């Protein structure tokens, strides 16, 4: 009856052969005719052969771990959020084996492998797998073959399985269309940013009112949940930031707040970090209370008649500035640094304030369209996730959706 909750089997009831772990021999530098999958070939979106290595010559095409097109693969070890990732292996053109950190599942003819992939990827099953994974560290937990064999599988006919897969695949196609649209807007945004590279530049110092000034140093044991919020190197990425929440706090005096306090419109530049992150910058958009910045940062105050903070933030995140800071950075063991002179001598476009605002208007128009698509994708994925649970539980009849 439509809407009835379907009976369930266990995964062990629908197998054509036992679940098997893979094999992880040493990688060969030479081509041997057989390749090995890496764990990165499984993700939330299924199987994708993005991580292939050469197997040693001792692995023949007759090895038990050689995969067949349509084999179902499950990661048995990973972080808690990634353990149990599942995907259907598709022939990559050369014989492949799968690693020891994956398990291979081959269902009987009564069950479609695409349907089982859907079941094992469903929110209900994912919650169960993550709860049952075990390990001493959240960065590496494992599930056993026993856990996999005990997972519930809805008792649907092959025709019903096929219809459910078709329904969910139709949502997946819609997702791909929106993802392609998002990628188009991201490429358009990147193209706009690259236009800045063609501009004639002077020096950043020409638009500075004050700074660069290093922040305040406080020992690690000074940080906590009480005191004045402090911006640290992990408080922001490149570009837009939010300093109104999530910051650690530190006890400081009124004089220290006055000296190291941030104001809306300030530019904060990371002066010490790894080589790829040194020089990352952001503008201060909003503050809800006095907030200071730590010694790994530099604060710059702009002449607002010459430089718009959001344009400056965008420029400092451009490829031109990234290359400049990479060239000027002084490397040490595991970190690199830039100084105040590096910041002052950073190139800055000879563009008036009106030109900067016009550029931001174009950039914001693209960002608004991209964010609208991102929101649409989030809604579609939420609907799809709920529908998967409803269909697999029987709360929604397959015929009702198919119609």
What pLDDT was estimated at residue 4?
47
1 in any annotated domain: no
Q: What is the mean pLDDT of each run of 10 residues along the chain (403 residues)?
A: 64 95 94 94 92 93 94 94 94 95 95 95 91 87 94 93 93 95 95 91 96 93 91 89 93 95 97 91 96 96 97 94 94 89 97 96 96 96 90 81 58
Residue that is last in its domain, among 350, 365, 384 = 350
Number of domains in the chain: 3
136 in any annotated domain: yes
Same domain, yes or no: 395 and 318: no
What pLDDT was estimated at residue 332?
79
CATH number of the domain at 79, please: 3.90.220.20
What pLDDT was estimated at residue 2?
44
- The structure tokens listed for 76 are 């048995």
Residue that is last in its domain, among 154, 183, 210 = 154
234 in any annotated domain: yes
CATH number of the domain at 163, please: 1.10.287.1120
Residue that is last in its domain, among 124, 154, 184 = 154
248 in any annotated domain: yes
Same domain, yes or no: 190 and 228: no
What pLDDT was estimated at residue 402?
56
Which residue range is the domain that position 397 belongs to? 156-194+351-403
Same domain, yes or no: 183 and 91: no
What pLDDT was estimated at residue 334?
80
**First vs last C-alpha separation in the chain:** 16
Same domain, yes or no: 326 and 393: no
Same domain, yes or no: 303 and 224: yes
CA distance 250 to 225: 8
Same domain, yes or no: 85 and 114: yes
Strands of 8-113 (E only): list them: 8-10, 20-21, 35-37, 42-43, 46-47, 52-54, 72-75, 77-78, 86-88, 96-97, 102-105
Same domain, yes or no: 205 and 345: yes
Same domain, yes or no: 29 and 142: yes
395 in any annotated domain: yes
9 and 161 in contact (C-beta within 8 Å)?
no
95 in any annotated domain: yes
Same domain, yes or no: 381 and 358: yes
Among 226, 357, 377, residue whose Cα is nearest residue 289: 226
177 in any annotated domain: yes
Same domain, yes or no: 221 and 329: yes
Q: What angle do CA 316, 317, 322 make, to 5 degrees?
A: 85
Same domain, yes or no: 276 and 320: yes
Among 213, 210, 250, residue whose Cα is nearest residue 232: 250
Same domain, yes or no: 83 and 172: no
Q: What is the largest CA-CA distance in the chain?
A: 76
116 in any annotated domain: yes
Please identify which residue in the block is written with the tokens 């772990």: 21
What is the pTM (predicted TM-score) of this model? 0.77
Strand partners, 74: 86, 103
């Amino acid at each position: 009856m439509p809407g009835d909750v379907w009976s369930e089997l266990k995964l062990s009831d629908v197998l054509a052969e036992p679940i098997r772990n893979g094999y992880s021999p040493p990688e060969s530098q030479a081509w041997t005719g057989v390749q090995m999958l890496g764990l990165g070939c499984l993700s939330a979106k299924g199987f994708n052969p993005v991580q292939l290595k050469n197997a040693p010559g001792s692995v023949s095409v007759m090895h038990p771990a050689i995969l067949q097109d349509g084999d179902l693969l499950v990661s048995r070890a990973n972080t808690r959020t990634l353990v149990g990732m599942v995907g259907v292996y598709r022939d990559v053109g050369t014989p492949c084996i799968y690693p020891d950190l994956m398990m291979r599942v081959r269902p009987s003819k009564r069950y479609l492998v695409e349907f089982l992939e859907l079941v094992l990827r469903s929110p209900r099953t994912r919650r169960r797998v993550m709860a049952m994974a075990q390990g001493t560290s959240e960065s590496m937990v494992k599930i056993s073959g026993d856990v996999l064999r005990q997972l519930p599988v809805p008792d649907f006919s092959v025709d019903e399985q096929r219809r459910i897969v078709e329904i969910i695949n139709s949502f997946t196609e819609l997702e791909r269309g929106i993802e392609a649209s998002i990628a188009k807007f991201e490429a358009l945004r990147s193209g706009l940013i690259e236009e800045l590279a063609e501009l004639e530049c002077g020096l950043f110092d020409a638009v500075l009112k004050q700074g660069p000034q290093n922040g305040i140093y406080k020992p690690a044991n000074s940080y906590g949940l009480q005191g004045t919020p402090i911006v640290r190197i992990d408080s922001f990425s490149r570009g837009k930031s939010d300093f109104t929440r999530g910051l650690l706090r530190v006890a400081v005096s009124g004089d220290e707040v006055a000296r190291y306090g941030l104001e809306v419109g300030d530019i904060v530049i990371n002066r010490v970090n790894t080589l790829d992150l040194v020089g990352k910058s952001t503008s201060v958009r909003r503050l809800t209370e006095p907030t200071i910045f730590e010694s790994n940062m530099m604060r710059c105050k702009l002449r607002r008649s010459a430089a718009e903070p959001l344009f400056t933030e965008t420029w400092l995140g451009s490829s031109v500035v990234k290359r400049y800071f990479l060239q000027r950075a002084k490397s040490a063991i595991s970190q690199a640094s830039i100084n105040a002179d590096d910041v002052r001598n950073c190139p800055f476009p000879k563009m008036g304030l009106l030109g900067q605002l016009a550029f931001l208007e174009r950039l914001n128009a693209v960002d608004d369209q991209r964010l609208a698509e991102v929101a649409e994708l989030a809604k579609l994925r939420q609907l799809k996730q709920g529908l998967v649970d409803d269909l697999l539980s029987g709360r929604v009849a397959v015929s009702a959706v198919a119609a």
